Structure 1
Amino acid sequence: MISQYQESLLLPARTFQTGPMTTTYEDVLEQMDSGIMLFDEEGVLTFVNKQMYAILGLSRHSLLGCTMIHLLSNIQMNRFKKKQVLRGYREMMKKGKPSYEFVDEYGRYWKVTLCSGEQMKGCYLFTFKEISDYKLIEQTAYQNDSLVMLGKLSASIAHEIRNPLTAIRGFIQLLHPHLHQLGKEEYAKIILAEIDRANDIIHEFLMSSKPSVPQVAMISVSGLLKEVVLLTESEALMKGCEIQLQPFQEDMIISGDIKQMKQVVLNMIRNAMEAITEKVDDAMGRIELGARREGAEVRIFISDNGKGMDICTLDRLFNPFFTTKENGTGLGLSVSDRIIKNHGGCISVSSRLNEGTRFVISLPLIQ
């Protein structure tokens, strides 16, 4: 039966005559927030509700009576939608999957389900439903679970590593006079310095996984960005990048922890540098930094002309432990996101492959 239907879907369009569906049922389906497509046993589209033809960007007249091949050849439907319709057809009709999920060109999540069998009397009902809100809840729950696990893991690591390091440090200090007599005092200094460095790394990891409560003070946005540029411009030049600080129309003041805010902007600039160094072309890297007022908020933007990101990477960008870097920890952006949220703001990001990425930090201004 399935194979017969698959063949019939690919038949040319024919003149459509209205079936036995009653006006009452049609009115109910028209009011649904999901898109509905009903194909009969011959593969002809017999019903489509207004939500569905809005999703496809086609008129009801151009849809009714058509087959799948006629739908895919419709010049009014863009290539992206055709590709998703064809992929969904393959997944559900060819592979027998009951549903199929995809992300549209606007970043919205959709789920397509297929209802068929005896209860449909040979017909095939396709339902298109937007699930963006469900995906957001799912991702938020995943992030919260990951951050709880990260906090516990960090505390455990700090405890387990610091204890032996403290013991080693104590014994090296006891051996220091003997090493001095042997003329090997430098060995003791090197060992102590490396132990202190290891302790600093552990402390940074612990603080990054569990940011402290902000030490609130008034922060000049222009002063913050100018200081960050001073800290990073020499490193940027070494990596073939140029940092351009856009002029400020006015000085804007925010309330927050200066160290944490600096950590967020520095992290994004360093990410931009790495994205630029991974470009395939030899064009000069450019990082633009600036801020502007929008109502009661300031928008701080960091944009680059690096390698960019695809949709799948963007979806997971702020997840703890997710990284595309060979030696990355996957903590930088998840921690930055938490810091900004603790300051009453949010981070948004847009990106295109081989074109670049733009981060925007939105924070409330002090009036």
Structure 2
Amino acid sequence: MKKLIFLLIFPIFLFANSKILIINSYHKGYEFSDSIVKGIEEVVYPYTNIDINTLYMDSKRVTSKEYFSNLEKLYSVQLKNREYDLIVAIDRFAYDFVLDVHEKFFKDKPVLAVGIENFYEEKAIKYGVKDKVSALLERRDLKSNVKVIKRLIPNLQKLYIINDKSENALHTEPLIQELFEDFDGDYELIYLKEDDLESLKEKFQVEDENSAALFIRFYKNKDGKLNNNREIENFIDNSKIPIFITDSIFIKKGAVGGRIVDLYRFGKASGEMALDILYGKEHKVIIFKDLNYVFDSKKLEQFILPVSVLDVDYEIVNKRETFYDKNRGFIEVVFKLIPLLLFLILGLIHNIYKRKQTEKELRQRIDFDAVLLNAIDSPIFWQDEKGFIVDSNSQFCSLLKLKCDQIYGCDEIYGKKLEDFSSNPNVLLIIDVLEKYKQNKKENYEFKFYDLSGEKKFYLLKQEKFEDKKSKTEGTVTIFTDVTKEREVAMEKQRNRQFVIQQSKLAEIGEVFSSIAHQWKSPLIEITAIAQELFYTRKCDGCNKNEKEDESFVKDIMNQVTYMTNTINDFQKFIMPSNKKKEFNIYDAVKSVLEIINHNIKYNNIKINIDVKDDTKLNVFGYKNEIMQSFLNIVNNAKDALLEKNDYKNRNIEIKLFNENKYLVITIKDNAGGIDEKSINDIFNPYFTTKENGHGIGLYMSKVIIEDKMGGSISVKNVENGAMFTIRLDQSI
């Protein structure tokens, strides 16, 4: 606790009876130095145990050696027997003076130089005060201001840099020299210092939207005559080209603005440094970098400068007064009188106000209900007890393909019955759907519909009774819920489920067949061994004829056994489902399928012709075995159709492979008379079959494999004397 109390009162003891002497280079009333002094005092005055004294040198108006000599004599009287803990020198004249008299008046006292642009350590060493001097440098940002000017005036042709010939101006010369060294030549850069204020006024009296000026200072003409701030303000304000500035003196006084040194904030930073020095912190030289972008609203409007294009934070001052600003007094009086006026006229306007308010609320409610209903994706409409349409939302109008307003729906149908639009086929479909729904209201009724773009939609229909107790009317609300996405998801799940089931079945068949194949291979090997043993054990002298017959017999047995073994192996590979997609040759897949069913095709006298167009790219990426199964389904269907034709001598299947754009196209055409037109659009549906013992899954699975699993397409159409299936496989995948 004692330690905490000590920390709280330590600054008081540290600053006890501390004294600061501010030596101002200029006279009282000069805005530059007065703003800095004000900032210092703002920071230091709260410390009641710190005393501040300010001396003015007036070096803006008098700079002779005789004056400074007499000033030193005057200060020797004023400062006699007075001790200061810190000397603050504002600007270069005060700093140079303090260095000259430091040994005499301020020996061993710390010095804080503020407002100077450059700090030369050699100078401090020369006067023996290197370890005593701290400085806060006022560094003008000329480069950033030039960038701002170029951004605000894209077609800039001339840029004037305005500076005078004073000693202070010499310290800014290096910054101006850097501008000329970095100059890119896109415009004319002109340096004005060998001039006077009157000639500058005359020079900038001609309007030029492609010219601008950067004002640094111009307090002295080339003949040494001093210009006061009011004269400079008048010159800047009346200039016909925009003038940008580097410090805060002329903001709100005619200048456009720029990246400026705010002298008051600069003074506050100086005050903080002064406290640090009194705390005993070691001296340091700091460049004041807390610059900000400030622009005059009236000047931006005068020169049409789009300050919003700047990608920096900026402040706008001198904004135009609003109506409230201009009439603040009158408005405040009116507001004070409003309660009295309201009491006087409230009785007269009460009924009108209530009626208007009710109408407004009703309109708002109607608009809100309309927006709310139209925000619902489901088509909705109301009918009264006689079947007349009372209201609807815009989605219902779209369902009927009628023109409608996005807020108030379709006026065309209000007060009418659906039957009044019997010429509209969409309305007839809705009427038919409603009739079917009435037969079984316990369940939602689902129906298909084609929207304006021709896309098929699925809707669920639901009706509910409504009753308006105020108007004592009742009717029916009909809601059509769009379940297209849900149906698509369900159908996709069904297709995937069928694909998985089919693969599972094929895998099981493959495993069973593998077991059968394994069991068959052993007897085949035994048959081969017996045949060979029979052949060799019957060899005898003089039995050449029998040996040749036996050799031929054994050879035939061996060929048949080899063929059976190869067929078992091929079918075993074919029946097993693919684990992952891979690249394969479609022609090889087709040939493999035909090899498997070769005897069946040949036995039934069916001729299969394969035509591969020249230079056809035959490789695709996907599931080889599944494609083979799809192809087998189509060929088997063609075979069954040909067998039903009973034309034993004319049974043909033509298979063509060719490229079309990025697709590999496979067509399978037969001459079995074609597919019944009533059935052709349904043959790819699950469980649909035209065969007596068919299961209706083969072509459906073919469609799932080709379209969903391989990103292709399959279609069928009747051609001359037969049907043709077309498979398209994307080779760019």
TM-score in same-fold range (> 0.5): yes
Specify which structure has the bigger relative contact order, considering alpha-carbon pairs within 8 angstroms and separated by 6 or more residues. Answer: 1
Cα distance between partner residues in 2 of 1:165 and 1:252: 35
SS of corresponding position for 2:415: coil
8 Å contact kept, 1:113–1:126 = yes
Q: Which residue of 2 aligns with 1:130?
A: 482
Whole-angstrom distance in 1 between the partners of 2:476 and 2:371 = 19
1:334 aligned residue (701, 704, 726): 701
Is this contact kept in 1: 2:626–2:705, CA < 8 A?
no
1:150 maps to: 502
Distance in 1 of aligned mates of 2:419 and 2:696: 48
Contact 1:348 1:359 in 2 (8 A): yes
Equivalent residue for 2:447? Answer: 102
Name the SS for the 1:129 alignment partner: strand
Match for residue 139 of structure 1?
A: 491
AA of the residue aligned to 1:53:
C
Letter of the 2:480 counterpart? F
Counterpart of 1:4 in structure 2 is none
Cα deviation digits, residues 148-185 of structure 1 (max 9, x gap): 3333333333334543564465457657849x79x999
Indicate conservation of the 8 Å contact 1:254/1:365, yes or no: no
Matched, 1:57 2:407: no
**Structure 2: distance between partners of 1:195 and 1:75:** 69
Q: Which residue of 1 aligns with 2:124?
A: none
Aligned-residue offset at 1:357? 7.6
CA gap 1:196/1:135 in 2 versus in 1, 3 angstroms: farther
For 2:368 and 2:524, the matched residues in 1 are separated by 87
Distance change (3 Å), C-alpha of 1:356 and 1:87: farther
- Matches of 1:27 and 1:172, distance apart in 2: 80
Deviation of 1:41 after TM superposition, in Å, equals 1.9
Determine what percentage of the aligned residue pairs are the same residue: 12
| Cα deviation, residue 146, structure 1 | 2.7
- The equivalent position to 2:712 in structure 1, one of 337, 346, 365, is 346
Aligned ranges 1:105-116 → 2 under 5 Å:
106=454, 108-116=456-464
Q: What is the deviation of 1:88?
A: 1.7
Distance 2:524 2:716 in 1: 52
C-alpha change, 1:262 and 1:159, in structure 2 (3 Å) is closer
Deviation, structure 1 residue 58? 3.2
Gap change, CA 1:291 and 1:85, over 3 Å in 2: farther
Q: Which moved more, 1:251-260 or 1:50-59?
A: 251-260
Residue type at the aligned position of 2:400: L
The answer (yes or no) to whether the contact 1:278–1:307 under 8 Å persists in 2 is no
Q: 2:633 & 2:512 partners in 1: Cα distance?
A: 31
- Tell me which amino acid in the other structure corresponds to 2:413: L
Classify 1:266/1:127 alpha carbon distance in 2 versus 1 (closer, same or farther; 3 Å).
Answer: same
Q: Is the 8 A contact 2:715 2:727 kept in 1?
A: yes
1:26 aligns to what SS in structure 2?
Answer: helix
- Alpha-carbon offset, residue 130 of structure 1: 3.2
1:135 shift after superposition: 1.6
Paired with 1:350 and 1:211, the residues of 2 have a C-alpha distance of: 26
Three-state SS of the structure 2 residue aligned to 1:104 is strand
1:17 counterpart residue number? none
Closer, same or farther: CA 112–356 of 1 in aligned 2, 3 Å:
farther
| Deviations 1:4-56 (CA, angstroms, capped at 9, x unpaired) | xxxxxxxxxxxxxxxxx933212221232222221122211112222222222
Which residue pairs with 1:8 in the alignment? none
Post-superposition Cα deviations, 1:183-207, rounded to whole Å, max 9, x if no partner, equal 999xx99997998699469636633
Give the Å deviation of 1:111. 1.5
The reply on whether 1:75 has 2:423 as its aligned counterpart is yes
- Per-residue deviation at 1:347? 1.8
Tell me: CA distance 1:362–1:150, structure 2 relative to 1, closer, same or farther (3 Å).
closer
Distance change >3 Å, CA 255–CA 275, structure 1 → 2? same
Aligned equivalents of 1:164, 1:268: Cα separation in 2: 23
Q: Could you tell me how far apart the structure 2 residues matched to 1:351 and 1:103 are?
A: 25
RMSD: 5.7
TM-score (norm 2): 0.33
Unaligned runs of 5+ in 2: 1-364, 404-409, 536-549, 596-600, 646-651
1:129 is aligned with what amino acid? T
Aligned partner letter, 1:155: A
Partner in structure 1 of residue 433 of structure 2:
88
Q: Is the radius of gyration larger for structure 1 or structure 2?
A: 2
After TM superposition, give the deviation of residue 254 of structure 1 in Å. Answer: 5.7
Q: Residue 36 of structure 1 contacts residue 49 of structure 1 at CA under 8 Å; is this kept in 2?
A: yes
Supply the distance in 2 between the matched residues of 1:264 and 1:153 (Cα, whole angstroms): 13
Paired residue for 1:206?
575
Alignment deviations for residues 241-261 of structure 1 (CA, whole Å, 9 cap, x no partner): 99999x89x966765379669
Q: Distance in 1 between matches of 2:524 and 2:664?
A: 51
Greater mean alpha carbon deviation, residues 52-61 or residues 160-169: 160-169
Q: Secondary structure at the match of 2:425?
A: coil
Match of 2:663 among 298, 303, 309: 298
Paired residue secondary structure (1:111)? strand
**Shift of residue 288, structure 1, vs aligned partner:** 10
- CA contact 2:633–2:698 (8 Å) conserved in 1: no
Alignment of 1:1-367 (within 5 A): 22-59=366-403, 60-71=410-421, 74-77=422-425, 82=428, 84-104=429-449, 106=454, 108-117=456-465, 122-160=474-512, 162-163=514-515, 166-167=518-519, 170=522, 174=526, 177=530, 199=568, 203=572, 206-207=575-576, 210-216=577-583, 255-256=620-621, 263=628, 266=631, 270=635, 273=638, 291-293=659-661, 297-298=662-663, 300=665, 302=667, 306-308=675-677, 309=679, 313-314=683-684, 316=685, 323-325=689-691, 326-327=693-694, 330-331=697-698, 334-335=701-702, 337-338=704-705, 345-347=711-713, 349=715, 359=726, 361-365=728-732
Pairwise CA distance, 1:346: 2.7
Q: What is the alpha-carbon distance in structure 2 between the residues aligned to residue 200 and residue 329 of structure 1?
A: 29
Give the 3-state SS of the residue equivalent to 2:481 in structure 1. Answer: strand
In structure 2, the CA distance between the partners of 1:243 and 1:39, relative to structure 1 (3 Å rule), is farther
Q: Secondary structure at the match of 1:147?
A: helix
CA distance in 1, matches of 2:525, 2:458: 64
Figure out how many residues of one structure are paired with residues of the other and give that number.
316
| Paired letter, 1:206 | I
Verify the 8 A CA contact 2:689 2:696 in the aligned structure 1. Answer: yes
| TM-superposed deviation, 1:363 | 0.9
Task: Describe the superposition over 1:82-134 as per-residue Cα deviations: whole angstroms up to 9, x where unpaired.
Answer: 2x324422332122244222233556232232231467874222222333322
Q: Using the alignment, how far apart are the partners of 2:653 and 2:474 within structure 1?
A: 59
**In structure 1, C-alpha distance between the alignment counterparts of 2:374 and 2:390, rounded to whole Å:** 14
The structure-2 alpha-carbon separation of the partners of 1:301 and 1:192, relative to structure 1 and needing over 3 Å to count, comes to closer
